[in-house]
Homo-oligomer: A and B are copies of this chain.
Amino acid sequence: MDTHSLNRTRAGDHVLLLSPDDKRYLVRLTPGARLDTHRGYITHDALIDQLFGSAIKTQLGHAFLIVHPSTSDWVMHIKRASQIIYPKEIGYIVLQLNIVPGARVIEAGTGSGGLTLALARLVRPNGKIYTYEERDDMLARAQKNFARAGVLDVIEMKQRDIRAGFDEKNVDALFLDVREPWLFLAQAHAALKGGGFFGALVPTTNQISALLDEMNLRADWTDIQVVEILLRGYKPVAERLRPVDRMVAHTGYLIFARAIRTNPETTFQNQIKLSASEEA
């Protein structure tokens, strides 16, 4: 392995450029192209074959640092038309939904594709993200985001009203980012493997209540968890350390659950019979 080349940018690489004043540019290096910034321009040719972690100047003399984009950078840099799910929520979703290499995951709706993209990077090489979206304009935008991020190989996009159900069975996890997730619990349950991981994000407390209500009625979900995650940034100044002045107060509430074969607490007798019939 040639360590030297590993440390240098190549045509086709995605790189993140950090300006002296903390602006961020995520670009795919393309011979002949040019990056225009608020501090002047840099040709892609000048950016190619540079050491990662080094700086390069615009024609105006401003030094930009060349680094790799993180999953967070990818999420924050997608072209978006809708409210995105932030890295603070995505990270927790990854751990709760047991997203690991090889996992098969359904997601609806696709939206701008930020969560899709993050999950796609984590299920490689053998996993798959099946993402459903009704609106073609959203799907078209998301596809561009996926193509740019080079994750199309692990994503399957479906333009579909999920009322009709999902094509896949026995998926490991399923996430709903839709207005009325309670309408699709039967479909979600049918697609998940036994004990599979369910998650949803909703912005309002009324939606939480509606979802919990339906879950209780259905009696085939357990280990229900409702949380919200707050991230507070600090000004990184050693001798005057303090939180930033303002923060995001709300992205959405996260609800997690596991798909079971009816809840034994309320309907254990039915559950036993159901299991027996399934084996027949």
Nearest neighbor of A275 in chain B, beta-carbon distance: B54
Nearest neighbor of A51 in chain B, beta-carbon distance: B194
When the two chains form their complex, are residues B125 and A97 in contact, meaning their CB atoms are under 8 A apart? no
Contact of A258 among B67, B118, B170, B279 (CB under 8 A): B67
The main secondary structure of chain A at its interface with chain B is mixed
Contact of A204 among B67, B197, B241, B272 (CB under 8 A): B241
When the two chains form their complex, are residues B238 and A213 in contact, meaning their CB atoms are under 8 A apart? yes
When the two chains form their complex, are residues A101 and B87 in contact, meaning their CB atoms are under 8 A apart? no
Contact of A261 among B53, B96, B121, B170 (CB under 8 A): B53
Instruction: Write out the residue numbers on chain B whose beta carbons fall within 8 Å of the beta carbon of A204.
Output: 240-242
Instruction: Write out the residue numbers on chain B whose beta carbons fall within 8 Å of the beta carbon of A66.
Output: 195
Instruction: Write out the residue numbers on chain B whose beta carbons fall within 8 Å of the beta carbon of A80.
Output: none
Q: In whole angstroms, how far apart are the Cα atoms of A53 and B189 in the complex?
A: 11
Contact of A241 among B99, B118, B208 (CB under 8 A): B208
Instruction: Determine how close the nearest CB of chain B comes to the CB of A101; give it in whole angstroms.
Output: 4
Contact of A195 among B67, B265, B278 (CB under 8 A): B67
Instruction: Determine how close the nearest CB of chain B comes to the CB of A229; give it in whole angstroms.
Output: 5
**A1-59, CB < 8 A from B:** 3, 6-7, 18, 20, 22, 51-55
Number of copies: 4
Which of A55, A196, A248 has the most B CB atoms < 10 Å from its CB? A55
Instruction: Write out the residue numbers on chain B whose beta carbons fall within 8 Å of the beta carbon of A261.
Output: 51, 53-55
Question: What is the size, in residues, of chain A's interface with B at 8 Å between Cβ atoms?
Answer: 102
**A250-268, CB < 8 A from B:** 250, 253, 255, 258-261, 264-265, 268
Instruction: Determine how close the nearest CB of chain B comes to the CB of A201; give it in whole angstroms.
Output: 12
Contact of A223 among B18, B98, B249 (CB under 8 A): B18
**Interface 9-residue window, one of A68-76, A129-137, A139-147, A159-167:** A68-76
**A74-114, CB < 8 A from B:** 75, 87-88, 90-102
Instruction: Write 17 A-B pairs (CB below 8 A) sorted by A numbering.
Output: A22-B223, A53-B259, A55-B271, A69-B98, A70-B95, A70-B97, A87-B96, A88-B91, A88-B92, A90-B95, A92-B92, A94-B122, A95-B118, A101-B123, A101-B124, A213-B239, A247-B249
Q: Which 3 A-B pairs have the closest CB atoms?
A: A91-B91, A53-B194, A67-B195
